[in-house]
Amino acid sequence: MNCGYVALIGRPNVGKSTLMNHLLGQKLSITSRKPQTTRHRILGIKTTALGQAIFMDTPGMHSDEKKVLNRYLNKTADSTLFGVDLVLWLLDGLYWHDYDTRIFSKLEQAGVPVILVINKIDKVKDKQAALNFFKAAGGKFPFEDIIPVSALKNTQLDVLEQAIMRLLPTRELLYPEDQITDRPERFFAAEIIREKLTRRLGDELPYALTVEIERFEDLAGLTKIYAAILVERDSQKSIVIGKQGEMLKKVGTEARLDIEKLLDRKVYLQLWVKVRKGWSDNERALQSLGFIDTV
């Protein structure tokens, strides 16, 4: 069968996680309007009669490398290009950014087939402008295909999936047909909690927050999860807790309901907030929190 690894790359907030979730038909990657919501390489496996595509959602590529966390995110995105069978490069409009020059360079080094995916095409009203952009893009890089889609509205995703399978090599399946990811349940529990925090807190805590699962207990008919929300300053702790604990309570309720859907069982979720100063700029702290690649 056609089978292989497919990397999703692009700048922050172009819709990589939304695209992967919709291609899989279920939610693995958390999403929000905030750039850099995705912090880890997340693998999602889709097996159909056409073959097996192993999608790799990555952090958005960006130029800001001031903190160790930012450098980790860039390195994770860059390293994904090497060792995959196909790359989907997402843009969210009919224009290039200065940082795209770096992506062109990385793709030339990787030497793998690339499909240019123009996301959010439903927002483009000028069809001639779109055609002109597609033609010009073909002169910038030898793309295997250029496919306009709307990940959110499932527009042209069937066309994209067929193109993906056509370009993957023929080999034995790499994963069992019923497997959808290689991440453990506790990883997704932490990600769901972080998603609720990211959506609720808006721009107040852009990068200074993460979630650590301290205990994950499977009992008869119930899973108990004890999670610490880590921030860098006392003022951030107050924001997360909210007035009389209301923010933390809302986040906990929303996260618990989603985790119950994920695990298909009852969940007891306990959250608390801890201050761990400078965690996002400390290599040892990042590795202890699951950012295990060499930074």
The predicted pLDDT at position 67 comes to 62
Residue 97, C-beta contacts closer than 8 angstroms, at least 6 positions apart = 11
Over residues 263-270, the mean pLDDT reads 95
Looking at residue 278, what is its pLDDT?
Answer: 74
**pLDDT single digits (tens) 146-200:** 999 999 999 999 999 999 999 999 999 999 999 999 888 998 999 899 889 988 8
Domain annotation for the chain: domains and CATH numbers: 2-167 (3.40.50.300), 185-288 (3.30.300.20)
Distance CA 50, CA 166 (A): 9
Residue percentage of the chain with pLDDT more than 70: 81
Separation in Å, CA 114 to CA 51, 64, 138, 203: 19, 25, 11, 34
Query: Maximum Cα–Cα distance for the chain, whole Å?
Result: 60
Least confident of 19-23, 71-75, 196-200, 281-285: 71-75
123-150 per-position pLDDT tens digit: 888 989 999 999 999 999 999 999 999 9
Model-wide pTM > 0.85: no
Banded model confidence at residue 83, pLDDT cuts 50, 70, 90: confident
- Report which of residues 13 and 55 the model is more confident about: 55
The residue among 74 and 106 whose pLDDT is bigger is 106
Looking at 72-76, 241-245, 283-287, 289-293, which range is the least confident one? 289-293
What pLDDT score does 36 carry?
Answer: 58
Does residue 267 surpass a pLDDT of 90? yes
SS3 sequence, the chain?
A: CEEEEEEEECCCCCCHHHHHHHHHCCCCCCCCCCCCCCCCCEEEEEEECCEEEEEEECCCCCCCCCCHHHHHHHHHHHHHCCCCCEEEEEECCCCCCCCHHHHHHHHHHHCCCEEEEECCHHHCCCHHHHHHHHHHHHHHCCCCEEEECECCCCECHHHHHHHHHHHCCECCCCCCCCCCCCCCHHHHHHHHHHHHHHHHHCCCCCCCEEEEEEEEEEECCEEEEEEEEEECCHHHHHHHHCHHHHHHHHHHHHHHHHHHHHHCCEEEEEEEEEECCCHHHCHHHHHHCCCCCCC
Give the C-alpha separation, 286 to 214, whole Å. 15
Residue type (1 letter), 247: M
